[in-house]
Structure 1
């Protein structure tokens, strides 16, 4: 029996807040944000046009020297399309590890922060799925791939949401 994923909703709420920060920075063409009294420059966030674009990105992330050094046992990760627009998810099947992403009409899912969240599930198989080990993995992965500012923003917003 798996432990209850008790902080899942808090994790999702924190990540929605962070995605909104990135969206507003992009809308205003100004990556400098006031983040709890500190001026911080957010990096641009990749957006994807198709499942194939997401697959290329996933392959590139898993091939990064910093990612390979930190998570040397990470195997390949495939990306498949999925019906519906409400969720992206990670699954481990008999055929291997898979990220399922909605099609191009669900623009919210075809973005770097969502895809990195799913890659973090691949790198951290701890239970519960959104527990402290996952949160630490996602923060570290985001910092490695997007920059230390993103890891910092995630850690602070998770803490404000009560995520451990």
Structure 2
């Protein structure tokens, strides 16, 4: 099985505000990705709150800092999402969409109104991407690596991030 890169253009997702996790939880997610035979690569595990087309990192840092804190993220399953052209399948952990998430998404859309690419609250689908595989190789994904009871991610924190050339988070900007 070979990992594939997203077909999204870098202009579409230059930067983002995400929920990121402590070192132990990040390590757990990377190890789960490996056990499932996915290639996580250089990407940082996260739950996206908003992607934007501009790299106004100072403004994104201010937006992230303005968000209220969150005690936990509850993971409730695995999604398999084919890309738009059918070349790959994204493997994701579903995150429960809580009222907190809906409210911070609304707040981010308001704060970043002039730089987000026409996003809305209803289309928001919280998740943690574990990897991407070529279409047709999904059978090589080790589903037995997924625990019966997914862990709760405790004390995630909002942060501004740079998304790199493939549109995936590669740097948390402190």
Q: Settle same-fold status: TM greater than 0.5.
A: no
Question: What's the TM-score once normalised by structure 1's chain length?
Answer: 0.28
**Whose helix fraction is larger, Structure 1's or Structure 2's?**
1
Q: Report 1 or 2 for greater relative contact order, CA contacts < 8 Å, sequence distance ≥ 6.
A: 2
**Whose strand fraction is larger, Structure 1's or Structure 2's?**
2
Question: What's the TM-score once normalised by structure 2's chain length?
Answer: 0.27
